[in-house]
Each structure stands twice: as structure tokens, then as C-alpha cells.
Amino acid sequence: MIVSQSYYLETYKGVETAEFDRLNDISQMFVENLTKHDEARLLNLSETALERVRKAICAEIEYLCSLGGTKAVNAKQDVQKVSESYSGSYSYSLDSKSMASIRYVNGIPYAPMVDIYLSETGLLYSGVNYV
């Protein structure tokens, strides 16, 4: 694993969760999928780039926690209804976490901070290098 629980809690200052191991595994696979790099290739990056990868994984763990933990992986967030309104014969609900603002990649919620951490590394570039 690229991120240890002690790194997540002590260095990143992430929220404590009983699901850490599972969310860490999911988040690392998510970052590997985004970057098209497996763990071995990520671990061979420069220390600066590797640190950004670690932070991206931690951001994804924390984001999944905020959306309900492992339930969020299959788009089953714990969203609390805060109000319900009626307009003629239609009703609609407003939720504490707007479903429209959550971005998904392959069905998994995507933490906005992942882009910020990885953007400077070049790992999000999926273009083809020509010889």
C-alpha cells in the first residue's frame, strides 16, 4: 500500500474511520486507474510526485468517508433530506449533499482535491507520446 494509516492520520490529518483499510484499497485502485500506473510504477516516482499521489489517495479516502464510507463506492451515499417542497402536483427534495455536485468516475465518487494534487505530476495526462 502506498498510504499507511499512520500517514493518513498523522501527516495528512485525515478523519478517523473504522473502514480505513477498505477505503485505502479502493482509493489506491481509483488513483491507479486514473493515472494508468500500478503501485510499483507509482512508488518509483520522484519523492515530490509520490507525496502528491499519497495526498490524492488520502483525499479520496476522506471524501468517501464524508459520503458514507464504503456505501459511497456503489453510489449509495447516506444523504439526509433537509427539506421537501411542493409545486402544483410535483414534489422535490433538497439534500444536504447535492447529488448533482458529486462527480463520478466508473461509479465511484471523485474527490475534487485528487485533480489538484495530481495535476502538477503529469499523471493525469492520458495522451499518446509520439516518437
Q: Work out whether the CA dihedral 59, 61, 65, 70 comes out positive or negative.
A: positive
| Cell digits of residue 125 | 495526462
pLDDT in tens, 13-67: 999 999 999 999 999 999 999 999 999 999 999 999 999 999 999 999 999 999 9
| Contacts with 114 (C-beta within 8 Å, 6 or more apart), sequence order | 31, 34, 56, 59, 60
| pLDDT above 70: percentage of residues in the chain | 76
Alpha carbons 12 and 15: distance in angstroms, whole number: 9
Calculate mean pLDDT across residues 71-87. Answer: 58
Our measurement of the distance from residue 10's CA atom to the centroid of its chain's CA atoms, rounded to an integer in Å, reads 19
